Structure 1
Amino acid sequence: MSILRRLVAALLLVPIVALAAQAQEYRVQPGDVLQIEVLEDATLNRSAIVLPDGQITLPVAGTFRVAGRSIAQVQDDLARRLAPGFAAAPTVFVSLSALAPRQEPTPPRTIAIFILGAANTPGKVEVAPGSTLLQAIAQAGGLTPFAAKKRIQLRRVDKAGNEQIYKLDLDAIERGVAGGGSTRLVKGDVIVVPQRKLFE
């Protein structure tokens, strides 16, 4: 029976040890809320929000930086700062009561694509995310009369650095007999518009 109890106790300690390890590894960030407790003086107990500059302000301890430190480091520093006001070293506990709100990255307002060749305004074009091939060409002022509309190329580099080339027939797309005009562009896409050959 004693062996079973020891086994259960050991299993219960596993998540506690894991949480303690995580707390030691965590680094305080601006916006976090710290809970401060001083056993010898309850008037010092309070919650403190980490300011944008990474500091907190507490009675007696003053203003000091906590961002980038572990909870244990903050606790030791606070105890050291409070020590002159006590006959013996104070017992200080610091815990993390709330994490700073994590802001989701905002999507870019525009993405840069490039149009080369027989376009009215070739070069870099800023388009809204999700814009299509036809919309980008229209934004570039359309194509010149010398554009080889049946031989449009969309060049795209994937995450591995490999270039993919898609051949599109803009004439057929405009007539509605071929797809590709609604292809969504991504940042860095290059649209190549060749010039027509002599009898093309």
Structure 2
Amino acid sequence: MHRRIPLSAALALVLAAGGVTACGHVDGEPITPTARATADFPNIGYADWTDQEPDYRFYPGDELEVTVPSAAELNKSVVVQPDGRVALPLIGPVMAADRSIGELEAAITQAYSTQLLRPQVQVSIKSTAPLKVFVGGEVGNPGVYDMAGDGDALRAVIQAGGFRSSSKRSSVVIIRRGPNGRAMLRTADLLSGMTNSRADLVPLRRFDIVYVPRSGVSEAGLFMQQYFRDLLPISFSYAINGFSGN
């Protein structure tokens, strides 16, 4: 499933422009973005890349199994709704989006404690919504894509119409939300990935950005200048449509 939108708008949904001081690297060299810098709008930097796998956080479309061992009649399969909440018996809707399993179990347990004596709630994942990623730069059809199952950067580029002849396939940029919401950046050699089964194809996570630069230009600086120059500082979070509260 593909919805075509300007990449600059897609970036504004997920990138933070403030509070990040460390820089990423391209081909082993540090990147210092060329965005407009003032006292109120500092240059954008990137945290060092880490492959640490964070706890899964729920997203609209995920299907969950909620179990209350002390009250089996309350056991229920629920789907996270577009507003991020799940509807459960006896209690009002509970916010599930952007919460881990443990956080959601604690929230539902607290909600049921007004109705039950010492409830213990268990939450498990039945199915997850498609992986949503942003693909831009020198690809056939830049935009936002849903990827079923596990996805990697090469598959995302292929789904976005493949590489243009003007692309630099050996230095594809991957941007991801890292620990504490900080943006991380790395590059991947997808040119070798097309011929070498052991190449680093970079498994993707929800809301990753895959940017294919142009060949023969200073792609890192051009990318930062073109897409970040006029973006306002915003929070890098997975809060969708203003998810908040319980």
TM-score (norm 2): 0.40
- In our comparison, the structure showing a higher alpha carbon Rg is 1
Higher relative contact order (CA 8 A, sep 6+): 2
Higher helix share: 1
More strand by share: 1
